[in-house]
Amino acid sequence: MLIGATALLLGGGGLAVYATTALAGNNTPDAAAGHAQHTASAFTLSCPDVGERLRQVPRSAKLPVSKGLSSLDKQVHDAYHKMMGGTGDSVLTGLKTQRAKTIKMMVTAISKDAKRPGYLLKMSGCTMKPVTEGAGAGGNDSTKSVQDGWYQGQTQNQTQGQTQGQSQDPGQVQGQVGGQAQNGGQQDQNGGQQQGRPGGPSPDDFVDINNVQPNADAPPFAAPQGGNASTGTFVTECGRNEDGHFNSDNVIVTPGVSNGAHHTHDYVGNKATDAFADDNKLAASDTTCDNGDQSTHYWPVLRKLDGNAEQKPGAAQDANVGTTLTPATVTLTFRGSQSGEVRAMPRFLKIITGDAKAFTNGTKNANASWSCTGFEDRQLKDKYPLCPQGSQVVRTFAFQNCWNGRDIDSGNHRDHMAFSDQNGNCPQGFQAVPQLVQRITYDVPQGQSFAVDSFPEQLHKPVTDHGDFINVMPDNLMSKAVDCINSGRNCT
């Protein structure tokens, strides 16, 4: 039984308080029989990620599934805002009913031409997640790519604290997901962490880069090196979105649905990229890249927290408030493998790295990396960096570098790609392909003055940062890139 009102951070709104009363018989472990326990905390909504559990989506079901995923996100968005004026129980009950109906529709669509994914029907219920709880609830293997250390040069000891509490040294932050850096964060009147702006980010989401210990071998992380490695690079120049190509679509995850991302994406490369751009449309489009590279690169915009509320989808209508920051530089580099030669990516290969819902999903698929120019041997996974004057904020996405050799996409848009281990070895059945590294820098105002666009319930947490890529290089250009990488040359 729950009684009261939850403290909930609402994007574009205020802070509502939900005091919970746990009574005997409600399955709350700490509730003594016959006695009530009272807590007051801040919460957000946490719902099972149906898209992550998709495996086989036949062509006939792609649009219904895409619409279903977008509807699920919209339902969470609306429920999140309704909690301002209602109780947690009533909102969660209504949300579960909505989600159950949408998920059933998706299951029915898939079942017409593929095995029925009945397990999805168990994913309708949502819970409330304390906003002071970290994103590391995905289990020990949720930080596998960091613990294996292949792209950050971190040891397992450096990352074991990611889900186990707080850093003991006030100035020593190693980017742990789920840990709370003790860097002078204030306490609210209930003894919790300072909440900051409605909807996030919190002051605890920022850390002075000077107080971060080096944790990466070399910028932009540990590049392949040694006798067997393919050490060359291929850099493609695509500008920094000077043309103002923005939308709140996601052509990989929710094709055919406008505002499928519920946050604004920043694009370089293919000029036709929106929710309705199929492979044929991309292949016929103009591009901002050199050498006829028609590939699509996109990521959530970074906003200055100046209160600028642009009323359109993906912006203030979806709790993303502030002036969009234009990157100072965008560098797109393909590099090789520690274990040997790479083979060409197929045209129209689609890759997403990172997880836009990592704060509630856990960090299994998280791949955010934040730093400052001049400090890129220090990478942060779940904190925004506070950079010294003259230093720029850096976002880096090191993409999966192993392909299953068959599919250009998969049901959850992840299973066809994987990360190599620290020695460059791909999982069984996968083969090394050029690794894309997107590096974006920004001039930002000093202080806690910026945040990445996010789904409203993700509270603009830095761990939710993510990048997307569709390879539309002509085959001869991809062959040139592979030759350069495998022969140890640096090409453009």
Distance in angstroms (rounded) separating the CA atoms of residues 362 and 136: 5
pLDDT the model gives residue 83:
78
Helix-strand-coil percent breakdown of the chain, rounded to 5? Answer: 25, 20, 55
What is the structure's pLDDT at 170? Answer: 31
* pLDDT score, position 220: 53
pLDDT beneath 70, residues of the chain: 1-41, 84-88, 136-198, 218-221
Specify the pLDDT at position 216: 87
Instruction: Give the pLDDT score at 427.
Output: 97
Q: What is the pLDDT of residues 436-450, one digit of tens each?
A: 999 999 999 999 999
| pLDDT confidence of residue 81 | 85
pLDDT at position 223 is 84
User: How many other β-carbons are positioned within 10 Å of the β-carbon of residue 205?
Assistant: 21
Q: What is residue 231's predicted lDDT score, i.e. its pLDDT? A: 96
Beta-sheet strand order (sheet of 323-325): 323-325, 302-304, 450-452
Residue pLDDT, tens place only, 292-334: 999 999 999 999 999 999 888 999 999 999 999 999 999 999 9
What's the pTM? 0.82
Pair of tokens at residue 276? 């309705």
Concatenating the DSSP letter of every residue in 31-84 gives --TT--EEEEEEEEEE---HHHH-----GGGHHHHHHHHHHHHHHHHHHHHHTT
Cα–Cα distance between 463 and 367 in angstroms, integer? Answer: 8
